A = this chain, B = another copy of it.
Amino acid sequence: MMSGAMQQKQDNVALPVFAAVTLALITILSVWKLKQFKYKLVNEAGVAMFYGLLLGLTVRLIWTDKGEQCPGNTTATNEQENTSDISMVNITPHGYIRNDKRQFSSHPEETFDLQVLFNLFLPPIIFHGAYTLNQKRFIANLGSVLTYAFAGTIISCMCIGACMYGFTKLMPPKEEFLLTHCLLFGAIMSATDPVSVLGLLSDLRVDLDLHMLLFGESVLNDAVAIVLTHAITTYTQMDAGLIFDPTAFLHAFVFFLGVLIGSFLLGLIFTVITALLTKFTRLHENPLLETSVFFLLSWSSYLSAEACGLSGIVAVMFCGLSQARYTVLNLSSEGRARIKQLFEVFNFLGEISIFGYMGYILLKFTCHKFEPVFISGALLSVFLSRAFNIYPLSFLLNLGRTNKIPCKFQHFMMFAGLRGAVAFRLAVKNTATEVTRTIFTTTLLMIGFTIWVLGTAADPMLRRLDIRVGVDPDENQEDHSFEIATERPDTTQGLWHSLDYKYLKPVLTHCGPPLTESLPQCCGIFARVFSSPRVQEDEEEELCEIEAGKNTLDLGKTESQQGSSESDSASEHQEDLLDGDLGLGTAPVHPREASGSSTQL
């Protein structure tokens, strides 16, 4: 009786989605149970990937499609060799492959695929990471983060590329690994992954400086990896030679700047829209609407950046940082709590889904190409490149930092270079030839290795290195205001302060001095238009005062101590409202907040 219906509905996506949901449930429950038994070694990403593997194996054993063929097998693809290198191919949840030139079997099930997964879950994860970040600490470490993200990733890429080129010489000559292929692999493997790094960090709650360095690096190097991959692909298209071309280099550099600034601006634009909407309308009267609009606008920053070919991860990170600084001041307290909880759920389910899917593809994808030499080369070069990245750069950075990066931090950073979703996304774009499929397979194995081995070993490693864990993310160390003062000359500081406090805050929120005072006379109309339309209510005033106090401490000496002492008393009333959202460095540490504010199992 049911079989008729089964057949009729065969082509719906409910079954694979149901399998995915079941997988997520099993992962959640088993991680939670394991943690109860004090198996601190378990991390969600690893368990999700493991169950994904099991599902992939099951699906493969049950529905093996004998007629399937892999593209780019050496016999039949000579005429396509030139184009297939750059054509984009999608891998579907069922392992079928299609591109615009040749169509393999296509199933409706492929609809719930990788792209949906990334567009749906990656933005909330990054946004949540940035939104709940201790902003003060992030700014304090910004210089170092930028160095690791940009210089470090380029060093890694070159190092892996060179290593792999050496290893490919050891391989049987039938493989046509060019230097550009090796560099492509370097670009893919050089970026550490914000999703897995965030998962690790929020589990362990390591020292805040270490948190900032690792998280900031993993987010920002996405932009570098995208640009490097793009530059190398373009370079390959131009000619297959090895000649160094200054024009191409310049082109790549300009492109890189464009991607970075463009993504930054897009993130900012969506914050400005959200802030103005919540400031000038009565949206705060309806928390459901407020939450929906906030969520959609923040998500838009990622989507618009990706649609323009920029880095969505960078855009949504800047959006999260600026939303937490400005927009949050305009929200109702219920809206604020709802937004935080909504992103928490997405962050939690997203991490599990993405890693489960990667595990699934590892066994389900039927066109894997395992090259033992290449894989062992990759394993070695990933460690080597990380060492060449962290130790020299830390040495250079420590020359300029008052608050040095200790050796034990360097060892842990060297160690915690987890790969994940970003590398997967880059590798999966091209699986048309044998070479690119070798790269894809090796990338998946490297992701599995870093997640399972390095991720699991992180906790004992931290204890071995004697690094503080279980740190309250809102903790404040007084000595950090010095670092800012040392790193930045007073003029930059003053500029940022006046931009933030005198102009951005009054325009985007109800806080700060009235615009009519801070703006010159000629901008009178502008000032009147953007002035706060409502009289400040009590709660808002308290919030603004906290913010003012935060600025004071942030920037050392420009403000009197009065704001700071006010904020301490004000934050007593606000502990439930803020709960880590604002990275309140000035508030006293509440032990209850510390245990409740981060995503933990």
Q: Which residues of A contact B (CB under 8 A)?
A: 1-2, 4-9, 11-15, 17-18, 21-22, 24-25, 28-29, 32, 36, 88, 90, 98, 103, 106, 108, 110-113, 115-116, 119, 230, 233-234, 254-255, 258-259, 262, 277, 282-283, 286, 288-289, 291-293, 295-297, 299-300, 302-304, 306-310, 312, 338, 341-342, 344-345, 348-349, 599-601
Contact = CB atoms under 8 A, between A and B. Distances in A.
A306 B230 contact: no
Given A12-B115, A18-B304, A36-B282, 4 more contacts: A12-B119, A25-B293, A28-B293, A32-B289
A307 B15 CA distance: 5
A566 to B, nearest CB: 31
Given A5-B230, A289-B32, A345-B342, A111 B108 contact: no
A307 B12 contact: yes
B106 A116 contact: no
Nearest to A347: B288
Given A288-B599, A309-B5, A24 B296 contact: yes
Contacts of A303: 14-15, 17-18, 21
A106 B98 contact: yes
30 contacts: A1-B255, A2-B258, A4-B234, A5-B255, A5-B309, A8-B309, A11-B88, A13-B116, A14-B302, A14-B307, A17-B119, A18-B300, A18-B303, A22-B300, A24-B296, A25-B293, A29-B293, A32-B286, A32-B289, A90-B108, A103-B103, A103-B106, A110-B111, A112-B116, A112-B119, A288-B344, A296-B349, A341-B341, A341-B342, A342-B342
B6 A295 contact: no
Main secondary structure of the interface of A (DSSP, over half): helix
Contacts of A299: 21
A2 B599 CA distance: 37
A377 to B, nearest CB: 28
Given A25-B297, A255-B1, A309-B5, A113 B111 contact: yes
A344 B291 CA distance: 10
A307 B6 CA distance: 8
A88 B341 CA distance: 40
Number of copies: 2
B306 A9 contact: yes
A303 B14 CA distance: 5
Nearest to A3: B309
A582 to B, nearest CB: 20
A296 B24 CA distance: 8
A441 B234 CA distance: 45
Among A6, A307, A310, find the residue whose CB has the most chain B CB atoms closer than 10 A: A307
B9 A286 contact: no
A309 B6 contact: yes
Among A230, A254, A345, find the residue whose CB has the most chain B CB atoms closer than 10 A: A345
Contacts of A255: 1, 4-5
A550 B100 CA distance: 62
A595 to B, nearest CB: 11
The list of the 10 closest CB pairs from A to B, nearest first, reads: A5-B309, A14-B306, A18-B303, A15-B307, A9-B309, A14-B307, A13-B115, A14-B303, A111-B111, A6-B309
Among A119, A282, A295, A348, find the residue whose CB has the most chain B CB atoms closer than 10 A: A119
Contact of A21 (B112, B300, B338): B300
Contacts of A28: 289, 292-293, 296
B345 A288 contact: yes
Contacts of A254: 1
A292 B349 contact: yes
A286 B341 contact: no
Contacts of A112: 111, 115-116, 119
A113 to B, nearest CB: 5
A103 B107 CA distance: 11
A415 to B, nearest CB: 28
Contacts of A308: 2, 5-6, 9
A32 B296 CA distance: 16
A261 to B, nearest CB: 11
A345 B307 contact: no
A84 to B, nearest CB: 15
Contacts of A18: 300, 303-304, 306-307
A15 B11 CA distance: 26
Contacts of A291: 341, 345
A300 B25 contact: yes
Nearest to A299: B21
